[in-house]
Structure 1
C-alpha cells in the first residue's frame, strides 16, 4: 500500500506461522496479529476499524463479514460468486485477488472518506436484512430442497 495504514489481524488459522514469519522478515510494525477474539474484545476491534478485509479464497459468506457489515464497515473481499451475490454494492470485490490488487483497492478507500461513508451506510442497511429468523428460514429452505432432491 502507498497509504499509511494500521492492520489488525483478528483470528487464527493455518497461515498464522507464515504471517508471523513475514512480519519478522519485513519488520512490519503496523501489522499486529491479535489471535482469536470474542465478546467485547471482538466488538472493540469492529468499532475501531475503518475497513474490513476478507482475503480468503476458501470462505463464502462468513460470520465475520456479517458482523463487519452490522458494524458499518465497508468490506473488501475476494470476488467469489457467493460473496458477490451476498455483498452486492455494499463492498468492493477483488477480481484478481493478489496482494497488489488488494493494496490498490485499500489505498483508494483510505483516501476516499466519502466512499467509505457511503459503503458504511449500505453495509448497515444490508446487515439489517439478516435477522436470526430470516437466516433460519433460509437454512430451512436449503434443507427442504436437499431432502426433495434426494428422495
Structure 2
C-alpha cells in the first residue's frame, strides 16, 4: 500500500502569484508517482485536491484594497492575510486530519500549516516535512520562528542556510533540495506575448511593492542608460503607478511597459524577451530565474551564493546596486551568444529530479 502524504496550502488553486502556492500544487502532482497524495486547499486545483474551506490569504488581500478595511486589518497584524488564513485553516484542517490517515504531513503555507501539522503530530505522531522558503531574509527571522515547530525534516535551498540552521539547532535534521521548474510549460518553443516594444527587450518579473526585496527601481535605472533597449516588467502590486511613472520618465513610453497577465500566459511573456533580470536582495530561491532560463533566456542577477548556484553557466551575476556595472552586465549578456546554456542549466532543476529527492526523504520519515 502506498504511503499517504498530505500536502497543505489553502491558497493553492486560488492564486498563482506566489512561489509556495505553485510549489505546493506542482509538488503534489509529481509526488503521486511515489505516494498516495492529497493536497488540502480551499479550491479544487488538481486531481489531488481535497477542498477544505477557510479564508485564504488572497481573499483577505482583496478586502485590503478597501482603504477602510485595510486600516482595520493592518491594526490587527503586520500581515493580516497570512494571520487570518492561518487561524481559519487551523480551525478546519486540524479536525479533518484528526480523522484521516496520513503517514507524512507536508505544510506549505508558513506557520499556519506548521501549526496544523504540529497539532496532528501531538495526537497521532505523524512526522512533518517542511520547506523553509524565507531563507535568511531579515537575518533568518521567519526561519527561526518556524524552527520552533521542530519539523522532523527541514528542507532548505542551499548549504549556507543549512549551516545557519545547524548553528541554531544542531539536532535539527536538514536536507538541501532546490525548487523545481516545469519544463513542459517553460521552454523556448511556443507563442510569444505581443508587447510591441522596440529593439532588444529586457524582462523582469515580480511584485511591484517598494517595501519588498525585488528592487525594480534598480533595473529601471540600469536600462534607462541603454540605447535601443526596452524594458518589460510583468507584475502588479500597490506601487504599480509609482513604477510606471518612474519607467516612463527615465526610459520613455516607447521603450517601457508594465503588464499583468494570467499565469497561463507567463511562458509566452518569457519567450517574448531577449534576456531576463531581477535585482532582488536576499531572494530565498527565485523560481522566476529558472523559468526564464528554461524559456531560453540568459539571466542577470544579484551576486550572491544562491544566484551563483542557480544561474551556473546560464547567466551572469553582478553588483546590481552599481548602475554602471549592472548596465554593462546586461549589455554583455545581450551581446553574448548563449546557445543552449540557459536551458541546460534549468534542466538541472526539473520537477522529476526534485520530486525524487523529496520522495527519498519522505520514505525515510
Query: TM (normalized to structure 2)?
Result: 0.34
Partner of 1:107: 331
Partner of 1:6: 230
Q: 1:74 to 1:38 in 2, by over 3 A?
A: same
CA contact (8 A) 1:94 1:101 kept: yes
Q: Distance in 1 between matches of 2:227 and 2:238?
A: 28
Q: 1:136 to 1:37 in 2, by over 3 A?
A: same
Runs of 4+ residues deviating >6 angstroms:
140-144
Q: Deviations over 1:68-121 (max 9, x none)?
A: 1111100000112111122122110013533332211122233x2xx2x32x41
Q: Distance in 2 between matches of 1:70 and 1:138?
A: 20
Query: TM (normalized to structure 1)?
Result: 0.76
Partner of 2:260: 35
Aligned length: 139
Partner of 1:72: 296
Q: Report the CA distance between 1:138 and its aligned residue.
A: 4.3
Partner of 1:131: 350
Matched, 1:58 2:282: yes
The unaligned stretches of length 5 or more in structure 1 are none
CA contact (8 A) 1:69 1:123 kept: yes
Q: 1:24 to 1:90 in 2, by over 3 A?
A: closer
The unaligned stretches of length 5 or more in structure 2 are 1-224
Q: Which structure shows the higher helix fraction? A: 1
Q: Distance in 1 between matches of 2:340 and 2:312?
A: 13
Residue aligned with 1:57, SS: coil
Out of 288, 291, 309, the residue aligned to residue 85 of structure 1 is 309
Q: 1:128 to 1:24 in 2, by over 3 A?
A: closer
CA contact (8 A) 1:12 1:36 kept: no
Out of 18, 36, 59, the residue aligned to residue 242 of structure 2 is 18
Question: RMSD of the TM alignment (CA)?
Answer: 2.6
Q: Distance in 2 between matches of 1:27 and 1:3?
A: 10
Rg larger for: 2
